[in-house]
Structure 1
Amino acid sequence: MNNSLNIPRSFTEMRRTQKKRHRDIAQELGISEAELIAAHSGSALPDAGVSLFAVRLQPRWPELIKEVEKLGKVMALTRNEACVHEKKGVYHHSSVNGQTGLVLAGDIDLRIFYQHWHSGFAVRETLTDSVQHSLQFFDQYGVAIHKIFLQAESNLAALDALITAFSDAGAAPLQIQAAPARNTAAMPDNFDQAAFRDAWRSLRDTHDFFSMLRQFKISRTLALREAGADYAEQLDTQVASDILLAAAQEQVPVMVFTGNHGMIQIHSGPVSKVLPTGPWINVLDASFNLHLRTDLIAEAWIVRKPTTDGLVCSLELFDVHGELICMLFGERKPGQAERCEWRGLLDQMRTEHLLCKA
């Protein structure tokens, strides 16, 4: 770590004078965000003049997430480079199967991949007019996977109990790996396009899509190019802003999936207050905020998957590396057909934004 005794004071100064976010301060200091937080924990913390204090947590992640329900209403935050997804609610109905966890609380709807969770902290930060409490979790590269921010109505006594139960005072110093280079996905050898399209036509559940990609050893964006126009069509990237604005105007309830390799976070319901700000398109509703950086969207696709409930159609957004940024569906439950108003909205977007083929 980069001279950890100076990091807390540098952080406090930059937060107060420049109002920068944690991840931006870490980048300026030349460290990962996990290292930034770890520098504020234990004996590494200077005696005074520091606005943030952190407690390292034991890596008993499923047990810890189950205890978050006792905190009451909180704000869940999951992000990737291009999209921040914030949702308020209670962490009801937490479960785990192997390394995969679920929180199915309605408002808080999570798919958790614990094999990518490497470190976690309870964080207390003194702001200008308040104290902010949070739980923050990071991968082996020091990149944030998920954060939980307490709200005014949250149970602070339950947080104290959680910290006591899960604190890891004897943890070894944080070890961060260098992130691997991002390589452009290549078409697999001996790829059978006909068999792939038959497999796509034979899908019966949206969740079967991931196993189909693994079977054919193909990336998601390459799969969309090979699917054929019946199942995947590329649009211009302006569609990301336009579909959110149209969904708000027409009050079409949507499902918005945002995530990273350790977490997928889902909003289900209407969006109302949608505002563009520079390169960002923002949803600023009472219990759901989304911040989508449109200049980092390299590809946008309408994707159609056969299921036992009929076609399920989505808008899927990707960055320049082919990584999934965000997916939008019409709100629906298993066993229900897709909403006609969502299908109509996608048809409108297709008419306005379909890319012309060279």
Structure 2
Amino acid sequence: MEHTTLSLKEQYQQYRNENPKVRIRDAAKQLGVSEADLVAIGDANIALQPKFPEILKEIKTLGHVMALTRNDYAVHERQGTYTKASFNGHVGLVVNPDIDLRLFMNAWHFGFAVLEGDRRSLQFFDKDGAAVHKIYLTERSDIQAYETLIATYKSSEQGVPLQTAAVDKSITETPDNEIDTDGFRQAWLNLQDTHHFFGILRDFGVSRRQAMRLAPDGHATQISVASLKRILEGVSERNLEIMVFIGSRGCIQIHTGKAKKLLQTGPWFNVLDPEFNMHLREDAIQSVWVVKKPTEDGIVTSLEAFDSDGNVIVQFFGKRKPRVPEREDWRQVITDFAK
């Protein structure tokens, strides 16, 4: 980090005075630092020990909270109560109808208890200072439990400049003609579980967006970006229950339920329901695909949106249960509005 803590504080304060409505993530970009760098110098913020699995196992004591996970072009906010997190190596799970997370702990490097006005949160960051997950208290949260958690995990070093490091997030694609395309397509057709799809990509050295091009016939169809919004409007009008997946490098957050109140605000397409909010930057979507994967319960259909670098921005599925075929109303709304 090129700035001293003092000079960065002064720069950030001046920038906030001139741009009072700018979010900290955008301010960090303008100042040439990471979001975590700015959080670390906040006078009211408290650095936490990097005992992230232990902290996550205690989030349930806070009661009702708002979980937030985002990437560059999509934000996922879900209210509810964490159940106890479980871990297998670097992979963790929080699973209940409200808070549903897949955690990848090798991307969790810094943590803070953050106070913004009267808004309290726990915020976690990758080694490059990018946010991987945030947990905000609500009016129904247990503030005393929050204070106890902070006291337990407060770091002995406070106000110390972070030692951030760049993370290579680029996606390198093997040329299509070097891929065992026939083998890849057959492995796709032989799928029994959607969770095994990532393993097939890894085994054949195929990127996710490349897989759309190389898919078996009829299993990945590109549709217009405008169709995605039309499908979500159909989901709202028909009162359907869906699943919405949005991820950072350290967390995939899932909403299962309805998406009723839709609102366009500039380039952002939003779902603004009491317990679930989604903010999706439409002008950053480079392509949208209808993707079909075989399972032992039949075909599972998803909508997958990619940015220009080949990153998945957001995925949508119909609400599913194990050993139950996919909902016909989900398939129908895609058929009716995908163009």
Q: Shorter-normalised TM-score: what interval?
A: over 0.9
Q: Aligned pair in 2 of structure 1 residues 82, 165: CA closer, same or farther (>3 Å)?
A: same
Distance in structure 2 (CA, Å) of the matches to 1:3 and 1:305: 51
1:26 to 16, 28, 51: 28
State the shift of 1:9 in Å: 4.9
**Counterpart-to-counterpart distance in 1, 2:201 and 2:73:** 24
For structure 2, the residue ranges without an aligned partner over 5 or more in a row are none
Which of 50, 69, 74 is residue 59 of structure 1 equivalent to? 50
TM-score (norm 1): 0.90
Q: Distance in 2 between matches of 1:15 and 1:154?
A: 29
**Aligned equivalents of 1:257, 1:178: Cα separation in 2:** 26
User: What percent of counterpart residues are identical?
Assistant: 45
> In structure 1, what is the Cα distance between the partners aligned to 2:322 and 2:13?
48
Q: Does 1:156 align with 2:156?
A: no
The letter for the 2-side match of 1:145 is V
Distance 2:142 2:248 in 1: 28
Q: Distance in 2 between matches of 1:254 and 1:270?
A: 6
Residues 119 and 137 in structure 2, CA contact (< 8 A), matched pair in contact too: yes
| Separation of aligned partners in 2, 1:140 and 1:30 | 16
Per the alignment, residue 219 of structure 1 pairs with 207
Residues 322-344 of structure 1: CA deviation (Å, up to 9, x unaligned): 00100000001111110000010
Could you say what secondary structure the match of 1:300 adopts?
strand
Provide runs of 4+ in structure 1 moved above 3 Å: 6-17, 170-173
Superposed CA deviations along residues 79-108 of structure 1, whole A, max 9, x for unmatched, are 000100000000113211111111112100
Structure 1 residues 205 and 60: alpha-carbon distance in aligned structure 2, compared to 1, 3 A threshold: same
SS of residue matched to 1:62? helix
Length-normalised TM-score, structure 2: 0.95
- Count of equivalent residues: 336
Match of 2:37 in 1: 35
Larger mean Cα displacement after TM superposition, 175-184 or 87-96? 175-184
Shift of 1:160: 0.7
How does 1:185-264 map onto structure 2 within 5 Å? 185-187=173-175, 190-264=178-252
Match of 1:356 in 2: none
* Residue aligning to 1:7: 8
How far 1:119 moved relative to its partner? 0.5
What is the aligned partner in structure 2 of residue 87 from structure 1? 78
The whole-number CA distance in structure 1 between the counterparts of 2:192 and 2:175 is: 25
Aligned partners of 1:272 and 1:283 also within 8 Å: yes
Q: Distance in 2 between matches of 1:55 and 1:188?
A: 49
Pair 1:276–1:229, CA change in 2 (3 A):
farther
Q: Superposition pairs for residues 280-299 of structure 1, below 5 Å?
A: 280-299=268-287
Give the drift of 1:153. 1.4
Structure 1 unaligned spans of 5+? 46-52, 354-358
Secondary structure in 2 matching 1:332: coil
Report the residue type matching 2:314 in the other structure: C
Whether contact under 8 Å (1:14, 1:20) holds in the other structure is no
Please show how residues 175-190 of structure 1 align to structure 2 within 5 Å.
175-180=163-168, 182-187=170-175, 190=178
Q: 1:181 to 1:203 in 2, by over 3 A?
A: closer
CA RMSD, 1 decimal = 1.6
Where does residue 49 of structure 1 map in the other structure?
none
CA contact (8 A) 1:82 1:296 kept: yes
- From 145, 154, 178, the equivalent of 1:167 is 154
Higher mean C-alpha displacement, 17-26 vs 215-224: 17-26
Contact 1:102 1:111 in 2 (8 A): yes
In structure 1, the residue corresponding to 2:260 is in which secondary structure?
Answer: coil
Quote the Cα distance in structure 2 between the aligned partners of 1:149 and 1:133.
6
The residue aligned with 2:300 is 312
The alignment partner of 2:133 has SS state of strand
Does the aligned pair in 2 maintain the 1:140–1:177 contact within 8 Å? yes
SS class of match (2:115)? strand
